[in-house]
Amino acid sequence: MSYNIRTREEYTRSYQNSVEKKTEFWEGIAKEFTWFKPWNTVMNCDMKEASFKWFEGAKTNITFNSIDRHLERKSEQTAIIFEPNMPNEQATHISYSVLHKKVCKMANLLSEMGINKGDRVAIYLPMIPELAVSVLACARIGAVHSVIFAGFSSGALAARVNDSSCKMVITADGSFRGNKTIDLKGIVDEALTQCPCVEKVLVAERTMTQIKMKNNRDYFLKPLLEKASEKHEAVHMDAEDPLFILYTSGSTGKPKGMVHTTGGYMVYTAYTFNNVFAYEPNDVYWCTADIGWITGHSYIVYGPLLNGATTLMFEGVPSYPNPGRFWEVIDKYKVNQFYTAPTAIRALAKESIEHVNRYDLSSLKIIGTVGEPINEEAWQWYNTNIGKKKCPIVDTWWQTETGGILISPLPHISPQIPTFATNPLPGIEPVLMDENGNESNENDTVGKLCIKYPWPSIARTIWGDHKRYKETYFTAFPGYYFTGDGAKRNKDGMFRITGRVDDVIIVSGHNLGTAPIEDAINEHPMVAESAIVGFPHDIKGNALYGFVTLKELPDGNKNIKLEINKIISEKIGPIAKLDRIQFTSGLPKTRSGKIMRRILRKIAEGDFSNFGDISTLLNPEIVEEIKNGRV
């Protein structure tokens, strides 16, 4: 590929070009793809207005580029390896030509079911091939996919389906996760009692459990797909037509539906996949994320397939049937690039090293991490035991909003510095902002991480709420994209991301806004008020600590803590459950009524050393009470 970066010189030259000749730089990369009609302008962006247009006027189709484009040379090559939850179940190898047929059939079926270009389709599926096929089929007909992680509860599913008024839900009878079977269809049925927008539900059969099917609404996929034609002409999409919506949590209870569009997202994810993972033909690449998150969208489905790669989809969990599963799968398929999350690394590092040493990991060339800052201990364990000190670690920093990786080491090019994401990729200009909102241009400094110029896969808006998009990301530092993260730049200009500086807490790599969790807690009839903060946790990175004030004292028989976690599980999902709950008679507040989370955070961490100035509090005496009641 002409856009490969494999040497330091290539990186330096590309980076320089990307800064000095932005238009030519991105145009050169975009030319690698198939466009049905060329663009009029490469970029037309305005950070102040949060308006981003790339490759305007061009027509393309990302599924065509991910599959059809490779058929001539790679039709028999494996596109997707499906490794099931149960190790004794036969794995599936889906070649590019078979994937093409499956996606065409699904595309025809969606059209027959009344889905048109621009319609929203919710996908609530486990990590089975139907998930990738549904995503690609939506994109093929121009329907906007909204994948909702299958660990979300019925309440969270309903809120997301309604927010973008999805016409259809694609789901499964159930899902397998380790030794558990989850009743997905039951969760969908419950959600849909609140979703009048949904006309049809397609059901993949995975667990073969007994489920209810509603007449004229619910249809099993298999018989319909059998009848569908395997010929389908990909719809010509405008470069700026929406490709998908993916929800992320934010500072209010309402999830933010980040909208990504077609052309820029395609160019950027393909470019970054190729270079960050130094993917070479015939490599087997494995990212352990779920397609329900952006990592799966960009680096299980689109990025790899756009490069004609072989991408592995794993249905299960790292601990089942034993904590050697990841390493077994790497050995089984001779995986060359492996990409996972710090929380998984920490959990597996706690297990006996025998689970690793039983397997041959010598196929590995590059290992990656994503989702939260990796601590030094986990980095060293990964480097020594998995990479055997010969595989570069790519600590990739990015976000749902950025569409693709922005800051990451490039293998054999960037220095290996534990916990550092090191260099920006070509086209990305990170800056650190000081207390006064000015760029700190010196090295050896810390600040709030912003990005100075747009890149092709920046989110275009929040579905239905451009004002919120602009306010959340473009007002704190006018003219810049504000990431919500803090970062450090060392004396050599290398970046290390230190963590969120806003009210998002990352638990086991899942991005959780405090507001939706507090809203859920406050639904308990006895709760007056609540505040959530994070505290360090060995495996999860952060865990949640809730400070809750009750309206009245509970009678002895009521287990309010359990009830609170039950509500959270129902409204958001088990991932958002609190590890600790403390009842208090009040919360520390400023005179304007804002909860001082800084103090709660310190108490949760068990750090009572210095609370800073608490004289501005309305109720300074509460600090002592909360401190003494720490659980």
Contact residues toward ligand WT7 (CB under 6 A) are 248, 293-295, 370-373, 395-400, 421, 483-485, 497, 500, 506, 511
Let me know: does 136 contact 103? Beta carbons within 8 Å: yes
Region label for 389, one of left (φ > 0), alpha (ψ between -120 and 50) or beta (otherwise): left
Pick between residue 506 and residue 623 the one whose CB is nearest to ligand WT7: 506
Q: Please tell me the total number of residues recorded for the chain in this structure.
A: 631
Pick between residue 368 and residue 588 the one whose CB is nearest to ligand WT7: 368
Residue 39 Cβ vs ligand WT7, minimum distance, rounded to whole Å = 28
Q: Is the dihedral of CA 517, 522, 526, 530 positive or negative?
A: positive
CA–CA separation, 348 and 52 (whole Å): 41
Pick between residue 422 and residue 582 the one whose CB is nearest to ligand WT7: 422
Distance of CA 361 to the CA centre of its chain: 27
Residue 370 Cβ vs ligand WT7, minimum distance, rounded to whole Å = 5
Residue 33 Cβ vs ligand WT7, minimum distance, rounded to whole Å = 23
Residue 143 Cβ vs ligand WT7, minimum distance, rounded to whole Å = 23
Pick between residue 124 and residue 420 the one whose CB is nearest to ligand WT7: 420
Pick between residue 484 and residue 534 the one whose CB is nearest to ligand WT7: 484
CA–CA separation, 229 and 101 (whole Å): 9
Following DSSP, what letter does each residue of 262-309 receive, concatenated?
Answer: HHHHHHHHHHHHHHHTT--TT-EEEE-S-TTSHHHIIIIIIHHHHTT-
CA–CA separation, 476 and 473 (whole Å): 7
Judging by beta carbons within 10 Å of its beta carbon (0-12, 13-18, 19+), is residue 444 exposed, middle or buried? exposed
Let me know: does 259 contact 460? Beta carbons within 8 Å: yes
**Which tokens is 379 given?**
């980095």
- Residue holding tokens 């494996």? 78
Pick between residue 184 and residue 341 the one whose CB is nearest to ligand WT7: 341
Residue 180 Cβ vs ligand WT7, minimum distance, rounded to whole Å = 24
CA–CA separation, 107 and 91 (whole Å): 25
Return the C-alpha torsion angle 17, 18, 22, 24, nearest 10: 50
3-state helix/strand/coil string of 195-225: CCCCCEEEEECCCCCCCCCCCCCEEEHHHHH
Residue 416 Cβ vs ligand WT7, minimum distance, rounded to whole Å = 14
User: Which SS3 state, helix, strand or coil, does residue 381 take?
Assistant: helix
The angle, 0 to 180 degrees and rounded to 10, between the axes of the packed helices 22-30 and 8-20 is 120
Residue 368 Cβ vs ligand WT7, minimum distance, rounded to whole Å = 9
Pick between residue 497 and residue 568 the one whose CB is nearest to ligand WT7: 497
Residue 93 Cβ vs ligand WT7, minimum distance, rounded to whole Å = 27
Residue 371 Cβ vs ligand WT7, minimum distance, rounded to whole Å = 4
Pick between residue 82 and residue 293 the one whose CB is nearest to ligand WT7: 293
Pick between residue 256 and residue 602 the one whose CB is nearest to ligand WT7: 256
